[in-house]
Amino acid sequence: MLRQDAELIAGVVAAAGRGLVDRETVAEVVALCAVAGEHLLVVGPPGTAKSEAVRRVAGQLGGRYFEYLLGRFTEPNELFGPVDLRSLREGRVEFETAGMLPEADIAFLDEVFLGSTAVLNTLLGLLNERVFRRGGTALASPLRVCVGAANHLPEDPALAAFADRFLARVFVDPVADARLEELLEAGRRPAPAPVALDGGGPTDPDGRLGALDRLAAAARDCELDGVTPLLASALRRLRAAGVPVGDRRAVRSQRLVAAAAVLDGRTVATARDLWVLPLVASTADTQALARDTLGDLIGKAANQSLTHAAEELSRSSAARAERLARTGAALLADHRGLPEGRDSRLRLEAALREIDAGFAPADLPAALVGIRAELVTAVAPS
């Protein structure tokens, strides 16, 4: 069941990321954090598809989604719901939360650091405890993951404690010039249709959200004892290199390691899962430093479900092989499904070139041997 659930979520994330150029990592880390029970901060300039990536993952998972753009004058009731007037007449201050953030399964808050003190204080409790408390209302929240977005990290020290509640960080830039053609082509294609709530929503335990919850439960029970010495050594090295990792972030990093393991189909964490550690570094510069500092520890890391994120954060050949194998298989499946007269040979050739550029024939990983052979056959002149 664990492997089936991991494959299901991998397919969900792949569907969400299809057509998102260079944003696959954002989509995959949303899923990682949902399984880990942690929250994600995405930092990058406006217009870099931060919200689109989260919206697509939420749409593919099903369940209740809440999205809001915060500003200096955003009132708490815009996020958490208005006062219940019937209760107020009876002398009780309670809130109507239907359709609002406290009842969401996945949430996206844009410009999250612009919220007022009242908004951020209420949000802090919800993120920490998954319980909404305001007035006489105390409501257990089903929130799997909250994704906050910002154009840049806050400079105000008063916001540091709030920002620390977002354990994982992903930093995005505009798509590179070399991929502009791909971006333009992807922009012409429609976004994938979201799943219907009655097929994968919160009332369907065997649907996509149910698979996510089973993986989250498996992550909480994941065996970490064997990897603890390596994890402790990695954290010491990060601190020695100047990457600030406080005690709380060090402890909670274990949740990301456990989530990576179960999404790879295992109940025991290993060194293969340590690629998640750069995510806990607080800035883009310290993330790059973390990758370099841990190069030998994460050099063989990989993940069958989160192929793009594992490759980007570890830069390992094993992760690259996993990503190319999954990408090649998806391209071949699309190619076989095309109607007569349609040709996807250029994409297949690009995938074949990337495999050959990354691996010498004698060093081709087993996962790529069959895929490469199929690609060669598919691009051969008929």
Which residues fall within 8 angstroms of residue 35, CB to CB, at 6 or more apart?
A: 9, 212, 215, 216, 219, 259, 262, 263
| pLDDT attached to residue 269 | 98
| pLDDT attached to residue 38 | 97
In a domain, 249, yes or no: no
Concatenated DSSP letters of 214-274: HHHHHHHT-B-GGGHHHHHHHHHHHHHTT----HHHHHHHHHHHHHHHHHTT-SB--GGGG
Q: Which two tokens stand for residue 133?
A: 């408390």
- Mark whether 170 and 23 lie in a shared domain: yes
Cα angle: 160, vertex 165, 169; to 5 degrees: 90
In a domain, 183, yes or no: yes
**CB–CB of 146/124 below 8 Å?**
no
| pLDDT attached to residue 197 | 54
In a domain, 74, yes or no: yes
**Single residue among 142, 166, 198 that ends a domain in this structure:** 198
Which residues fall within 8 angstroms of residue 163, CB to CB, at 6 or more apart?
A: 41, 113, 153, 154, 282
- Mark whether 42 and 191 lie in a shared domain: yes
In a domain, 142, yes or no: yes
In a domain, 309, yes or no: no
Query: What pLDDT tens digit does each residue of the chain (382 aa) get?
Result: 899 999 999 999 999 988 888 999 999 999 999 999 999 999 999 999 999 999 999 999 989 999 999 999 999 999 998 877 676 666 666 778 889 999 999 999 999 999 999 899 889 989 999 999 877 778 899 999 999 999 999 888 888 888 999 999 999 999 988 888 888 888 888 878 787 654 444 445 348 999 999 999 999 999 999 999 999 999 999 999 999 999 999 999 999 999 999 999 999 999 999 999 999 999 999 999 999 999 999 988 999 999 999 999 999 999 999 999 988 988 888 888 766 545 678 888 888 999 999 899 888 998 899 999 999 998 887 6
**Single residue among 145, 169, 198 that ends a domain in this structure:** 198
In a domain, 306, yes or no: no
Q: Could you list the residue range(s) of the whole structural domain that residue 370 is in? A: 317-379
| pLDDT attached to residue 276 | 98
pTM of the model: 0.91
- Mark whether 180 and 43 lie in a shared domain: yes
**Single residue among 167, 198, 229 that ends a domain in this structure:** 198
The three state secondary structure string of 69-115 is ECCCCCCHHHHHCCECHHHHHCCCCCECCCCCHHHCCEEEEECHHHC
In a domain, 176, yes or no: yes
Number of domains in the chain: 2
Instruction: Check residue 331 and report its DSSP letter.
Output: H
| pLDDT attached to residue 8 | 94
- Return the H-helix or E-strand segment holding 68: strand 65-69
**CB–CB of 30/24 below 8 Å?**
no
| pLDDT attached to residue 181 | 82
- Mark whether 161 and 13 lie in a shared domain: yes
Give the CATH number for residue 148. 3.40.50.300
- Mark whether 186 and 332 lie in a shared domain: no
Instruction: Check residue 325 and report its DSSP letter.
Output: H
Say whether 147 sits in a helix, a strand or coil: strand
- Mark whether 179 and 325 lie in a shared domain: no
Sign of CA dihedral 371, 373, 375, 378: negative
In a domain, 205, yes or no: no
- Mark whether 323 and 188 lie in a shared domain: no
Amino acid, single-letter form, for residue 112 = V
| pLDDT attached to residue 205 | 39
| pLDDT attached to residue 257 | 98
Say whether 148 sits in a helix, a strand or coil: strand
